[in-house]
Amino acid sequence: MPTHITQIDDHRAARTVLRVEGSLTLADAELLEGVCRDLRAQQNTPITLDLTDLSFLDSDSASVLRRIKREQDVSLEGVHLSVQKAIDLAEMAASS
């Protein structure tokens, strides 16, 4: 299933939500990283990645999500257990 990224401007919470749906490949994760970087440069609002409808990601994509979270101060929500495990493994690998 291809990746769909939808931008939702949540004015009540003063944040931008990027809803990620489908399978997240490395190329898609790197695109998402660029989108977050561009949004950060254009707006001064917090960014949240909604991963509720993410059906698959590999270890390379998990590493990019970890990097987005750490370097761009982006929040993650709707993270399923399998996705969280992949991100945790990427963090452990980066720490080694």
pLDDT, tens only, 67-95: 999 999 999 999 888 788 888 888 788 77
Return the CATH superfamily for domain 4-95.
STAS domain (3.30.750.24)
Q: d(Cα 61, Cα 63) in Å, to the nearest integer?
A: 5
Q: d(Cα 43, Cα 32) in Å, to the nearest integer?
A: 16
Question: What are the pLDDT digits (tens) for 17-51?
Answer: 999 999 999 999 999 999 999 999 998 899 999 99
Q: What is the pTM of this model?
A: 0.87
Cα R_g (the chain), whole angstroms: 13
